[in-house]
């Protein structure tokens, strides 16, 4: 029999558990107040934080399936929080951008996010989050290199 295996120290498992926990925890902050789903918030955040982008870029950036992005974009557009403009060079591409209303919503929720993270950092101690994120970046790099 091979050396023992402890699920508790298996990284995919641990990452998933932590991610689901924190995701739910933060979702409670905006789901009710802004009637927004997670893909929508992610899209809003991507656009609000990095500016004008295409749907494909949003997906690549936040690792969301393109149909998820497509639907989130449709939702946000209907809410008039986002507008599309077609690229004049390549007519397949559409550039996405937040409207004034979208930007306003983004700022409010970003504010929640900042507060949320600050309170977490309060508990964890200074630098703790940065250290975790540096570790995550390494993991992502390793995985993406893995083909």
Partner DNA sequence: TCGAATTGGTTGCAATTGTAACCGTTGATT
Partner DNA sequence: AATCAACGGTTACAATTGCAACCAATTCGA
Residues that bind its own copies (CB under 8 A): 1-3, 5-23, 25-26, 42, 45-46, 48-50, 62-63, 107, 110-111, 113-114, 116-117, 120, 123-124, 128-133, 135-136, 138-140, 142-146
Measured from the CB atom, the residue of 70 and 99 that comes closer to DNA is 70
Strand boundaries in 26-119, DSSP class E: 53-54, 82-86, 94-98
Neighbours of 19 (CB within 10 A): 10
Take residue 73 and report the two structure tokens written for it.
Answer: 């974009």
List strands edge to edge, sheet with 82-86.
53-54, 94-98, 82-86
39 binds, among its own copies, DNA, none (CB under 5 to 8 A by kind): DNA
Alpha-carbon dihedral 136, 24, 70, 105, rounded to 10 degrees: -100
Measured from the CB atom, the residue of 93 and 120 that comes closer to its own copies is 120
Alpha-carbon dihedral 139, 141, 142, 145, rounded to 10 degrees: 160
Measured from the CB atom, the residue of 28 and 74 that comes closer to its own copies is 28
85 binds DNA (CB under 7 A): no
74 binds DNA (CB under 7 A): yes
45 binds DNA (CB under 7 A): no
Cβ of residue 83: shortest distance to DNA, in angstroms? 12
Measured from the CB atom, the residue of 93 and 129 that comes closer to DNA is 93
* 135 conformational bin, left if phi > 0, alpha if psi -120 to 50, beta if neither: alpha
Q: What's 9's DSSP letter?
A: G
66 binds DNA (CB under 7 A): yes
Site for DNA, rule CB under 7 A: 37-39, 54-57, 64-71, 73-74, 89-94
């Amino acid at each position: 029999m091979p050396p023992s295996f402890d699920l508790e120290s298996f990284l995919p498992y641990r990452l998933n558990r932590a991610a689901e926990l924190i995701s739910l925890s933060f979702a409670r902050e905006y789901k009710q107040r802004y009637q927004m789903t997670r893909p929508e918030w992610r899209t809003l955040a991507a656009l609000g934080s990095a500016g004008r982008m295409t749907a494909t870029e949003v997906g690549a950036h936040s690792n969301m399936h393109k149909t998820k992005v497509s639907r989130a974009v449709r939702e946000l557009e209907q809410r008039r929080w986002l507008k599309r403009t077609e690229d004049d060079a390549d007519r397949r591409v559409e550039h996405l951008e937040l409207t004034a209303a979208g930007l306003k919503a983004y700022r409010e929720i970003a504010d929640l996010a900042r507060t949320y993270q600050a309170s977490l950092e309060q508990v964890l101690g200074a630098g703790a989050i940065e250290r975790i994120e540096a570790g995550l970046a390494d993991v992502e790099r390793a995985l993406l290199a893995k083909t």
